[in-house]
Amino acid sequence: MTGPLSQPTIQRLAFVRFLHEQGIAQSAQPEPLSASAVLSFHDAVEHFLLLSADHFGVNLPSNMKFLEYWEKLKPKLPTGQELPSKQALNRLNKLRVDLKHHGNIPSSQAIAQAKADVTTFFTDATLMIFEVDFRTVDMTHLVTRPETVRLLHEAQTHADLADTVSALAGLVLTFEELLEYYTARIHASWGRSPFAFGNRVPSFRPTREERNTPTSRHIKALTETSSKLQQAMRVIALGIDYTRYAQFNAMTPAVNHYADGKVTFSVTEWHESLADDDYQFARIFVIESALQAARVDAVFARLDDHLGGVQDGFGIEVQEWTWNGPAKSHG
């Protein structure tokens, strides 16, 4: 029985699961894009093996070969036990070598087999080495923004009760808050976020007399299009995969906000048929989005450094210089 896992170990296990889930998502893509799953699966396994060696205090040579991990870790395991799935993961390693070094695209059957093999390995090996159920490894340990983590945990409370629809609604709220923070943020020094693409486009509500007139229909169409384009630009600018966003948006219930703070969500019979796998896809998407969007923090920090202490953009002394063309050598 080992002691409690350290925070760095928990975070590294979360990263392993993140890579594994990324591989599962890639394996569902059409050929040949699904081949990238092999690389993610292999990276996940190799990270896990390196973490296991660190966990046991095993020194590894710099020229370590993939299958040698099984021999190096064996002395640290209980008597009579061996690290599982050696032959199965040897197949994965060969697929990876064939793809990366020889350009051979694996078949859909080979990718499906790799997915099953890696999942079995993590299920057995995580319990054996870390005494943790791999399915319970929480990827929120990779997210640094506290509010996002809090909302992810709130959504998970519904998933734990098998209330998938409410859990999905919680993920929508998490994503909305994340997007709002990075794109609609207004700072005293530098104003609106550079990822805002203008003020939020309000809904068009014509008067009774204006309804169904050509002008009203035209304005309504322009308003809806502008709003959708703005949302798409905000998502893309943050580095979020728009295709996955569209899938997330299509499968989750619409969330409605009211002036008094009330929040509701619209549920169809189709939403009620969604299962835990659908929730896991949505949850991974939100976590990936949070990791991608976190890069914007560096932009905000640079703006703060550049304009720090200036209120509302006033008080900046600006000089106008003249451009004189290429600099000339004085040699």
Give 266's contacts (C-beta < 8 A, 6+ positions apart): 253, 254, 256
Separation CA 102–CA 95 (nearest Å): 10
Is residue 185, in this structure, part of any structural domain at all?
A: yes
Q: What angle do CA 228, 234, 154 make, to 5 degrees?
A: 95
Same structural domain, 251 and 163: yes
Same structural domain, 68 and 91: yes
Separation CA 168–CA 156 (nearest Å): 9
Three-state secondary structure call for residue 191? strand
Same structural domain, 252 and 283: yes
Q: How many domains does the chain have?
A: 2
pTM score of the predicted model = 0.78
Same structural domain, 125 and 151: no
Domain holding 177, by residue range, is: 143-195+238-307
Same structural domain, 255 and 107: no
Q: What angle do CA 240, 249, 254 make, to 5 degrees?
A: 135
Separation CA 16–CA 13 (nearest Å): 5
Q: Are 44 and 19 in contact (CB under 8 A)?
A: yes
Is residue 226, in this structure, part of any structural domain at all?
A: no
Domain end, chosen from 139, 169, 187, is at 139
Same structural domain, 151 and 283: yes
Question: What pLDDT score does 308 carry?
Answer: 61
Per-residue pLDDT of the chain (331 residues; tens, 9 = 90+): 456 789 999 999 999 999 999 999 899 899 999 999 999 999 999 999 999 999 999 999 888 899 999 999 999 998 888 999 999 999 999 999 999 999 999 999 999 999 999 999 999 999 999 999 998 898 999 999 999 999 999 999 999 999 999 999 999 999 999 999 999 876 655 677 888 888 888 877 777 777 778 888 888 888 899 999 999 999 999 999 999 999 999 999 999 988 898 999 999 999 999 998 899 889 989 999 999 999 988 888 888 777 665 544 555 677 888 988 887 766 5
DSSP states along 118-132? HHHHHHHHHHHHH-S
Residue 309, Ramachandran bin (φ over 0: left; ψ between -120 and 50: alpha; else beta): left
Q: What is the 3-state secondary structure (H, E, C) of 207-267?
A: CCCCCCCHHHHHHHHHHHHHHHHHHHHHHHHCCCCHHHHHHHHHHCCEEEECCCCCEEEEC
Q: What own/partner pairs with CB < 8 Å and gap ≥ 24 does 223-227 have?
A: 226/201, 227/200, 227/201, 227/203
Same structural domain, 151 and 291: yes
Is residue 107, in this structure, part of any structural domain at all?
A: yes
Is residue 209, in this structure, part of any structural domain at all?
A: no
Residue 117, token pair as written in the block: 């093999």
For residue 41, the domain's CATH number is: 1.20.120
Residue type for 99, please? L
Same structural domain, 156 and 302: yes
